[in-house]
Amino acid sequence: MKELLSIAFAKDVKTTLFGLPRFVSGHPFSEDEAEEFSKAASTVFRKTPKKVVEAGLRRFSPLSERVTPEERKLVLIGASDALPYLQTEASPKIVQALIKNHVLRKINLIKDYQSPFERRQRTEETIGLQAPWVIVIDITSDCNLNCDGCYAGNSKKGKDPSLESLSELVSEAKELGISSVAFSGGEPLLRTKEIVELEKRHPELSYVVFTNGTLLTEEKAQKFLHTGAATFFLFHLEGSIEHTNKYMGEGVFQKSVKSMAILKEMGIPFGFSIMINQLNFNEVTSDGFLDFLKNQGCVGGVYFPYIPIGTNPNPELVLNQEQRKELTTIAEALRKKGMFVLNPEEVIQHEGGCIAGTRYLSITTQGEVQPCTFIHQSDVKVFDPHISLTEGLKQSHLIKAFQGAQKNCTSCMVRDRQNILSKIIEETGAYSTEN
């Protein structure tokens, strides 16, 4: 058996080495060649020392030539933080999908496929707007829970978008140069069948599923593992077992931990999504809480500073400026320990301002285009009747206004610049997407 494994590994090394000259020279692969190379390279990658891989990432010249400096920075930071997990715990199918779809495709090494960077350049030249990197799609307004203070609790209820409408939207997003799609809700796993099918149809993109963690099963997880795409799950928690169950419902924390165990066993990456506020700040940033999550298999997560919207908004729960600065320091320290943790405050502090309406957009179940998941305002719909996302952006005075206002952005518009937000809403004729 050991001899057979050695022969198989030697074949993977040969396939990988054969492909490297094309990889470095920029000579593109066919789809079949890319599949073969990615499969072999994923095996070799898992057996290559971390330092060697990091050195290769830093010195790989086509990467710097075919993506923006910002993207290159994100790739290097993210890859370095994720390497221990990807080399030891991630499913080979996840690693293979990342190599094919987020390395080869992003640097134009697959024939007849234009990189997201080039598509965004084309979009910006065509419509005169900054093309986003990410869209968040509310795939359903239904939820199996009734969480206290849910940010989407007042969102309009109605018929969920059809699979075909969603597929058109994702296809159009891809053409714009969007490289990542996040599914929110409601509870996205109520529409597992549709999400899995979308990933199969559009495996070139990366996917994030925001979930309350109560509906995941081994059968569902297996389906995500075989889409050809890389999916990252983010479990919404409020803090400890007591805190989470108090706000989300009895037994929710335990069910989430059980779901984490399923993903860990299968090698599917996951992390936490926490709305951090005055009540849970100390708890969710404590070593004990984070060590517990890391032991469950969490590879990272996102801290969303509380915004007083949705059901029962409470301005007293908003973090103060010192806490927001501290949160950035905490996130940086966690990354050094091997947990890839992000929070929007870092973007504002280090990346030139808020990305609402510029680098990311939100689409409601009714097809309403919002600048941000937490800004429940829109002036254009892309569903019923269907119009392309490109046309929607062209028509949206709201998005244009946001892109103009964000150039000198220094903080969250909803939380700190309500006067500017109100002026934009009034001048663009935007309407509320809440009930």
DSSP codes of every residue in 348-394: HHHSSS--BTTTEEEE-TT-BEESBTTB-EES-BSTTTT--HHHHHH
Per DSSP, 239 falls in state S
**Spatial distance between the Cα atoms of 77 and 379, rounded to a whole number of angstroms:** 36
- Helices 218-225, 192-201: axis angle to 10 degrees equals 10
Task: Please give the pLDDT value at position 377.
Answer: 97
Judge whether 395 and 343 are in contact, CB under 8 Å: no
CB atoms within 10 A of CB 240: 17
pTM of the predicted structure, to 2 decimals: 0.91
Task: Please give the pLDDT value at position 350.
Answer: 66
Judge whether 167 and 209 are in contact, CB under 8 Å: no
Per DSSP, 135 falls in state E
First to last CA, the chain: 63
CATH topology of domain 120-432: TIM Barrel (3.20.20)
User: How far, rounded to the nearest angstrom, does the alpha carbon of residue 29 sit from its chain's CA centroid?
Assistant: 27
Tokens of 221: 């997880």
Q: Between vectors from CA 36 to CA 30 and to CA 42, what angle results, nearest 5°?
A: 125
Domain ranges of the chain: 2-104, 120-432
Low-confidence ranges of the chain (pLDDT < 70): 1-26, 54-81, 349-352, 408-410
Give residue-wise pLDDT tens across range 328-373.
899 989 988 888 898 887 877 666 678 899 888 999 999 999 999 9
CA distances from 293 to 240, 270, 297, 301 (A): 10, 10, 7, 10
